[in-house]
Chains A and B, each alone.
Chain A
């Protein structure tokens, strides 16, 4: 597998764009219920703090702060775009699917219908040392979602 299959264009783009980054400067929308989670990977020092706001059973806002490698930052950015407007149940389903693909060592293919841009992280599953990088913001989102919903 080549490096370009791991670092797909969409991952490199999102690692720079970082949609949703800037937690401290973002207020949660009024009337929403929020959850916040901090996750740290002690191996490499990757860190993500993610807040998720829920209103009427739907994700109203995702905001996060983080420091880490391109995979971890791109993953948080893609998650932000994807989660926006989803129902709580839909986001749980997407997180479960993403986790299954990432932990499959390349045996389970991503469903682009369900995962959208997050399907680009399928290649990460073949790099055991990088799975946690891709997962860190999703673990934070799941935790925050459980608090908010």
Chain B
């Protein structure tokens, strides 16, 4: 169902990823080479945060050793060099997602990106009410009676900013429910998305279910209704080839730390004509043209949304991460991780008392699986796995409404990345098979 574009450069016949190549890849990640509780670390928590290859760590170090300066100001040599690598990094990330340079805005992370959109939209309502901004901006202003539509599977980061936007503007928040297997009820989507819908926000791939949503189908429904379409690409941009134009979304967000980059850096994609008219979220230095004591005029995107000194070394490192992924080949990474995801689910389903959330084995999913172990709390499952050197995430994974819908409060989640082998998955499965006996469940 997912629309996956293949960049022209990758269309040559390249071998699929295999364990031998993954073991070579793993050598690029120093943190993975350690013992935890006496066992070689099996890191299966990349859905929460990923690890950094040497090329990323070195890119950040090189920036501080050779080029550190504030960007977009100062006439000195370092300032020019810093600005150059910072803007080159933006170009790299734009290419990484099929966006144009000026449509690529740096944020702290995806959460900030979603808050940026929601605050820009409520600011649009304030501006419109006071006659500020043009006719197009007035069309973006939410008001009572308008609707914001999300899905029942959203991460809190793609839910709460919309709850608060609804509160600030008087709009109503609605959601598309899911089936028991985690798939969206598209019949409901078609009924819910309509003329009142001003914003449609949904995740590309679920951080709990592993399911890939039909992005183009949803975007078409949203656009037919005249809504802005916002894509949470946190669990897709790091793992599969992504083209925001082909997916036909108006906004997309993702975080650097989930795609081999450091924490503190993320990206917002927005269609140029939207970014250029939306009011800013944060205001201050570096985003203005003329300032008087009474008022200010703002630069167009991307600077319009980049107030204050930016996360320069992190941006440079994020570009290095994108290059690492592109050179490895996102289509290959996606295929490898999908195979690991299938191995996880097939293995988990064969363990008595284990219930996997989301699509059953054989159905499309990304390389992660969240599951419940009957009679054992997720926290205890995680502790048991950690004692064998296996790192997983436990809890509600920032998706309480989804867990409630599935009748659970907490689950255990294993999430793979390009540096995980089939041995990692097998060690994880073997450990899970011992959980219920240990806790006498």
Contact = CB atoms under 8 A, between A and B. Distances in A.
Interface of A: 2-3, 6-7, 12, 15-16, 43-46, 67-71, 127, 130, 133
A69 B379 contact: yes
B383 A3 contact: yes
A67 B409 contact: yes
Given A16-B440, A68-B377, A70-B377, A44 B383 contact: no
A41 to B, nearest CB: 10
A130 B387 CA distance: 14
Contacts of B383: 3, 6-7, 127, 130
Contacts of A44: 377-379, 394-395, 410
A68 B380 CA distance: 10
B384 A3 contact: yes
B133 to A, nearest CB: 39
Contacts of A69: 377-380
B202 to A, nearest CB: 25
Task: Please classify how large the interface on chain B is, using the bins under 10, 10 to 19, 20 to 34, 35 or more.
Answer: 10 to 19
Interface in B410-441: 410, 438-440
A135 to B, nearest CB: 14
13 contacts: A7-B380, A7-B439, A44-B377, A44-B410, A45-B400, A46-B379, A68-B377, A69-B377, A69-B379, A70-B377, A70-B380, A127-B383, A130-B379
B223 interface: no
Contacts of B380: 7, 69-71
B396 interface: yes
A84 B383 CA distance: 31
B379 A133 contact: yes
Contacts of A71: 379-380
Interface of B: 376-380, 383-384, 387, 394-396, 400, 409-410, 438-440
Contacts of B394: 44
B310 to A, nearest CB: 32
Contacts of B409: 45, 67
B357 to A, nearest CB: 15
Given A12-B439, A68-B377, 7 more contacts: A3-B384, A6-B383, A7-B439, A44-B379, A45-B396, A67-B409, A71-B380
Nearest to A3: B387
B385 to A, nearest CB: 10
Nearest to B395: A44
B233 to A, nearest CB: 26
B376 to A, nearest CB: 8
Contacts of B438: 3, 7
Contacts, number: 44
A13 to B, nearest CB: 9
Q: Which 8 A-B pairs have the closest CB atoms?
A: A69-B377, A69-B379, A45-B409, A3-B387, A69-B380, A45-B410, A70-B380, A44-B395
Contacts of A133: 379
A67 B396 CA distance: 14
Contacts of B378: 44, 69
A3 B438 CA distance: 10
B121 to A, nearest CB: 28
B410 A70 contact: no
A117 to B, nearest CB: 18
Contacts of B439: 7, 12, 15, 70
B395 A43 contact: yes
Nearest to B388: A3
Contacts of B400: 45
A7 B382 CA distance: 13
B327 to A, nearest CB: 36
Contacts of B376: 70
A14 to B, nearest CB: 12
Nearest to B400: A45
Contacts of A2: 387
Contacts of B410: 44-45
Nearest to B439: A70
Contacts of B384: 3
B295 to A, nearest CB: 42
Indicate the member of B377, B378, B396, B438 with the most A CB atoms within 10 Å.
Answer: B377
A84 to B, nearest CB: 26
A78 B145 CA distance: 54
A12 B396 contact: no
A70 B383 CA distance: 11
A61 B321 CA distance: 59
A59 B409 CA distance: 32
A99 to B, nearest CB: 20
B10 to A, nearest CB: 41
B299 to A, nearest CB: 40
Indicate the member of B383, B400, B440 with the most A CB atoms within 10 Å.
Answer: B383
A95 to B, nearest CB: 23
Contacts of A12: 439-440
A18 to B, nearest CB: 13
Nearest to A127: B383
A7 B387 CA distance: 11
A69 B394 CA distance: 11
